[in-house]
Amino acid sequence: MTADDLDGFDLALLREVQADNQVTSAELAERVNLSPSACLRRLQKLRESGLIRRDVAIVDYAALGRGLTVITLVSLKTEASGAGIAFAARVCAHHFVTQCLSVTGAFDFALTLRLASMQEYERFIEAELLGDANVLRFETLVGLKETKHETAVPLAHLQPPG
């Protein structure tokens, strides 16, 4: 299933479950104007196709003592012979690395870390960046205030067929 296969009901369902995936099938049916069984069938199809990857709860990092957000940009000397893949696998193994993107431009990777302290970040730098001869350079951005954190995928650009 691709974006082209979605109709207005599918898009409505996606909007609703992105906002609240705990909504009852009866309430969901009322919101999107379908029967509860039709909603459940469509949601199952969206899950099986991979358009809905996971159903999750979004937890407050700061409330759990992980209020420090650090974005680290990393350049490697080489990505040949799987060095980039190995680097990504190694840093992603840390529980506080919440995102790892392979990027274009002056850097090869952008990492997002949710940490308890700068000391925790220092340990990460020493172990994974300074301790890796393939790391050419890195740059650290420390988040001061989160003004937006959205997990929902925008759907307004998708128009149902016909």
- Give the tens place of pLDDT for each residue, 143-157: 999 999 888 888 888
- Domain assignment present for 83: yes
Q: Could you report the per-residue pLDDT of 109-141, keeping only the tens digit for each?
A: 999 999 999 999 999 999 999 999 999 999 999
- pLDDT for the residue 161: 54
Going through the chain in order, the beta strands assigned E by DSSP cover: 68-76, 97-102, 109-115, 135-142
70 and 118, same domain (yes or no)? yes
The tally of domains found in the chain comes to 2
Mean pLDDT (whole number) for 84-97: 96
Q: What is the DSSP letter of 161?
A: -
Three-state secondary-structure class, residue 4:
helix
18 and 39, same domain (yes or no)? yes
73 and 7, same domain (yes or no)? no
Among the listed residues 150, 139, 135, the one whose alpha carbon sits nearest the alpha carbon of residue 71: 139
Three-state secondary-structure class, residue 74:
strand
Three-state secondary-structure class, residue 125:
helix
- pLDDT for the residue 107: 97
Range of the structural domain that residue 40 is part of: 3-49
The pTM is what? 0.83
Q: Could you report the per-residue pLDDT of 28-74, keeping only the tens digit for each?
A: 999 999 999 999 999 999 999 999 999 988 889 999 999 999 999 99
Which residues lie below 8 Å from residue 113, measured CB to CB, with a gap of 6+? 69, 70, 71, 72, 94, 96, 97, 98, 121, 124
